[in-house]
Chain A
Amino acid sequence: MEIREKVIEIVAEQAVLEPSDVTMDSTLEELGIDSLGLVESIFAIEEAFDISVPFNANNPTESEFDISTVRTIVAGIEKLVRDQKP
Chain B
Amino acid sequence: MKRVVITGAGTINALGGDVPATLEAMREGRCGIGELDIRDVDRLAVRIGGQVREFEAENVFNRQQLTLYDRFTQFTLVAAAEAIAQCGLEFTGELAATAGVILGTAGGGVSTWDDNYRSVYEDGKNRVHPFVVPKLMNNAAASHVSMQYNLKGPSYTVSTACASSNHAMAQAFQMVRSGMSKAMVTGGSESMLCFGGVKAWEGLRVMSRDACRPFSANRNGMVQGEGAGVFVFEEYEHARARGAEILAEVIGYAMSSDAADIVMPSKQGAARAIAGALEDAQVSRSEVGYINAHGTGTAANDKTECAAVADVFGPYADTLMISSTKSMHGHLIGGTGAVELLACIMALRDGVIAPTIGYQEPDPECALDVVPNEARDADVKVALSNAFAFGGFNAVLALRRI
List chain A positions with a Cβ less than 8 A from chain B: 16, 36, 39-40, 42-43, 46-47
Could you tell me the distance in whole angstroms from the C-beta of B143 to the nearest C-beta in chain A?
14
Chain A-chain B contacts (Cβ-Cβ < 8 Å), number = 14
Name the residue of chain B whose CB is nearest to the CB of A46. B127
B126's nearest neighbour on chain A, judged by CB, is A52
Interface string of B46-70 (1 = CB under 8 A from A): 0000000000000000001001000
Pairs of residues from A and B, 6 with the lowest C-beta to C-beta distance, nearest first = A39-B130, A43-B130, A40-B130, A43-B129, A46-B127, A40-B67
| Complex alpha-carbon distance, A11 and B229, angstroms | 38
Distance from A44 Cβ to chain B, minimum over Cβ atoms (Å)? 9
- Cα A19 to Cα B64 in complex, Å, equals 18
We find that the number of chain B residues with CB closer than 8 angstroms to chain A is: 6
Return chain A residues, CB-CB under 8 Å to B67. Answer: 40
Measured CB to CB, the nearest residue on chain A to B63 is A13
Which residues does chain B contribute within 8 Å of A16, judged by CB atoms?
A: 64
CB distance from A56 to the nearest CB of B (A): 12
B164 → chain A closest CB, angstroms: 28
- Tell me how far the C-beta of A34 lies from the nearest C-beta in chain B, rounded to whole angstroms: 11
CA distance A13 to B64 in the complex (A): 10
Write out the residue numbers on chain A whose beta carbons fall within 8 Å of the beta carbon of B129.
40, 43
Report chain A residues within 8 Å CB of B131: 36, 40
List of B residues within 8 angstroms of A46 by Cβ: 127
Most-contacted residue by chain B among A16, A39, A43, A47 (CB, 10 A):
A43
**Nearest Cβ on chain B to A15's Cβ, whole angstroms:** 11
Report B60-103 residues with CB < 8 Å from chain A CB: 64, 67
Closest to A13 in B: B63
A47 to B125, CA, bound (A): 10
A16 to B129, CA, bound (A): 19
Chain B residues within an 8 Å CB radius of A43 = 127, 129-130
CA distance A39 to B134 in the complex (A): 13
Q: How far is the CB of B62 from chain A (nearest CB, A)?
A: 9
Q: Which interface residue of B64, B127, B129, B130 has the most chain A CB atoms within 10 A?
A: B130
Output the nearest chain A residue to B62 by Cβ-Cβ distance: A16
Contacts beyond the supplied A39-B130, A40-B131, A47-B127: 11 A-B pairs with Cβ under 8 Å: A16-B64, A36-B130, A36-B131, A40-B67, A40-B129, A40-B130, A42-B130, A43-B127, A43-B129, A43-B130, A46-B127
A43 to B131, CA, bound (A): 10
Q: Bound state CA distance, A42 and B129, in angstroms? A: 10
Chain B residues lying within 8 Å of A39, measured Cβ to Cβ, are 130
Q: Please give, as numbers and ranges, the residues of chain B lying within 8 Å of A42 by CB-CB distance.
A: 130
Q: Which residues of B contact A47 (CB under 8 A)?
A: 127
Question: What is the minimal beta-carbon distance from B176 to any residue of chain A, in angstroms?
Answer: 34
Residues of B within 8 Å of A40, CB to CB, are 67, 129-131
Residues in chain B near residue A36, CB distance under 8 A:
130-131
Q: Could you list 13 examples of A-B contacts with CB < 8 Å?
A: A16-B64, A36-B130, A36-B131, A39-B130, A40-B67, A40-B129, A40-B130, A40-B131, A42-B130, A43-B127, A43-B130, A46-B127, A47-B127
Within the complex, what minimum Cβ distance (angstroms) separates B131 from chain A?
7
Report how far A5 CA is from B67 CA in the complex, Å. 23
By beta carbon, the residue of chain A nearest B129 is A43
Chain B residue with minimal CB distance to A40?
B130
Q: Which residue of chain B is the closest to A57 with respect to CB atoms?
A: B130
B67 to chain A minimum Cβ distance, whole angstroms, is 7
Closest A residue, CB atoms, query B125: A47
Cα distance, A47 to B129, chains bound together (Å): 10
Q: Once the chains are docked, how many angstroms separate the CA of A40 from the CA of B134? A: 13
Complex CA gap A77/B130 in Å reads 19
CA distance A50 to B131 in the complex (A): 19
Q: Across the two chains, which residue of chain B brings its CB closest to A47?
A: B127
Assembled-state Cα–Cα distance A40/B128 (Å): 11
A40 CA to B66 CA, complexed, in Å:
13
Complex CA distance for A69 and B242, rounded to whole angstroms: 53
CB distance from A82 to the nearest CB of B (A): 20
| Chain B 128-141 interface 0/1 with A at a Cβ cutoff of 8 Å (1 = within) | 01110000000000
Q: For chain B, residues 95 to 152, give those with C-beta under 8 angstroms from any C-beta of chain A.
A: 127, 129-131
